[in-house]
Amino acid sequence: MSPLSRIATREYRVGVIGLGYVGLPLAVELAKAGFPVVGFDVDAQKVSELNAGRSYIPDVPTADLAQVVKNGKFHATTDMAGLADMDAIDIAVPTPLRKTKDPDMSYVVQAVEDVKAHLKKGQMVCLESTTYPGTTDELVKPMLEETGLKAGQDFYLVFSPERVDPANPQYLTKDIPKVVGGIDKASTDLACALYGQVVTQTVPVSSTVVAEMAKLLENTFRSVNIGMVNELALMCHRMGIDVWEVIDAAKTKPFGFMPFYPGPGLGGHCIPIDPFYLSWKAKQSGFEARFIELAGQVNASMPEYVVTRVADALNSVKKAVNGSRIHVYGVAYKKNVGDMRESPALDVIEHLKKRGAIVTYSDPHVPTFRLEHHGEVHGHMEAISEADALAAKPDCVVITTDHDTFDYDALVAKAALIVDSRNALKAYQGAHINRL
């Protein structure tokens, strides 16, 4: 039976390597569509939770996971030998940056090594991890062809970038058009046939490189525009202009303008990282991405700028940062999630501590977290309730993540000083409120 026929009859077996914010939603959607799916992960605790039908990803309801586990369409394992039984293998592992801002491909390399050890004729291998243009052709393909099997002849090879937006109820995995670029037309067509069963639209492109670059364009677009508006915020503060009012006025134009908003810095796995992937690859070609790198520098400077604004606020009441009790509202990288990857709040906390502040935090989505610097753990922090925090009368409160569940009425009423880096207090007035 042909692969297309097996997809149509839901006999096509799919393995997903990496069961995080990208891999697990995709695996569950495929299982809900009737495909037999196996999730592969090195974390035994995650595997145990999933096989018990318990989801740790907010975008994957536990009820949905429990149902596909119960009906036998999904199970998880740490045993990579099971890859040999799959018809398609989807790689969705992290692609972080090294300290030197160049790509850390170790997770992808390990996943491809696992695939290579069990690769067989007729399988489709798809990389979803965001990476630099050329990864599929220059790294993945040669590794897999060390088996003696040839891509495009003995197995299918595809790049199809993840485009998830955690905690966005409007756009879940199934709702987001899926870009698909194979090393040949047969690979592209087969991937589109599979993904077309679970997403509203597939977008085939001519090559893996186009698909890789498209993903980087999406996130570099956001990074550059956020960098511009962050710089505008600094400029407006110097000029005594309310940047938030400026943006609200500009966005009334019905064409030619898209609003972006300043903040304490960029967070999440993609936007703070992807532009550096693109810049790094450009340098390999002898091209300097000056515009992109400048935006990255502006965005990276924002946590320290927030701390400067805290210092200014404290100075206004004749206090120093050193020795002041400062409470942080929100440490996740965006509102209403518990994801802390690259969260700017962590840099804000680190800068405050370096200046001698006594820092506490509240976050309903993050009860505790480790303090790390360049990958080295040097302690941990535990959340306290908003009520307890305000009862302790901190010298200053900093809003770094604007969760909807925060009691902003109580905050404005009880806090002596507030630095709001998210415009969470837009509806409030008061001399003690300092907006970015």
Q: Which helix (H) or strand (E) holds 360?
A: strand 358-362
Catalytic option among 126, 192, 236, 270: 270
Residue 270 designated active-site = yes
Cβ contact 162:176 at 8 Å: no
- The structure tokens listed for 333 are 């990288």
Roughly how many angstroms between the first and final C-alpha of the chain, as a whole number?
61
Helix (H, G, I), strand (E, B) or coil at 398: strand
Q: What is the pLDDT of residues 178-197, one digit of tens each?
A: 999 999 999 999 999 999 99
Look at 11-20, 280-289, 409-418 and tell me which has the smallest mean pLDDT: 280-289
Q: What is the pLDDT of residue 136?
A: 97
Q: How confident is the model at residue 74 (pLDDT cuts 50, 70, 90)?
A: very high
Cβ contact 195:202 at 8 Å: yes
CA distance 210 to 213: 5
pTM of the model: 0.88
Q: What is the pLDDT of residues 252-293, one digit of tens each?
A: 999 999 999 999 998 876 777 777 778 888 888 899 888 888
Q: CATH fold of 3-206, please?
A: Rossmann fold (3.40.50)
Neighbours of 284 (CB within 10 A): 11
Q: What is the pLDDT of residue 376?
A: 66
CA distance 224 to 408: 31
Neighbours of 422 (CB within 10 A): 21
pLDDT higher than threshold 90 for residue 135: yes
- Check if CATH label 3.40.50.720 holds for domain 243-435: yes
Percent of the chain past pLDDT 90, that is, above it, reads 81
Cβ contact 88:123 at 8 Å: yes
Residues 6+ away with beta carbon under 8 Å from 396: 310, 313, 314, 324, 325, 326, 327, 415, 416, 417, 418, 419
Mean pLDDT, the chain, integer: 93
Size (the chain), residues: 436
DSSP codes of every residue in 171-226: S-GGGS-EEEEESSHHHHHHHHHHHTTTSS-EEE-S-HHHHHHHHHHHHHHHHHHH
pLDDT higher than threshold 70 for residue 173: yes
pLDDT higher than threshold 70 for residue 162: yes
Q: What is the DSSP letter of 83?
A: G
252-261, long-range: CB within 8 Å, 24+ apart, which pairs?
Answer: 258/225, 260/222, 260/225, 260/226, 260/228, 260/229, 261/226, 261/229, 261/423
Cβ contact 338:55 at 8 Å: no
Q: What average pLDDT score do residues 36-40 get?
A: 98
- The structure tokens listed for 139 are 């790294």
CA distance 187 to 126: 9
Look at 86-95, 100-109, 208-217, 304-313 and tell me which has the smallest mean pLDDT: 100-109
Q: What is the pLDDT of residue 406?
A: 98
Indicate the domain borders of the chain.
3-206, 243-435
Cβ contact 177:204 at 8 Å: no
pLDDT higher than threshold 90 for residue 435: yes
CA distance 326 to 310: 9
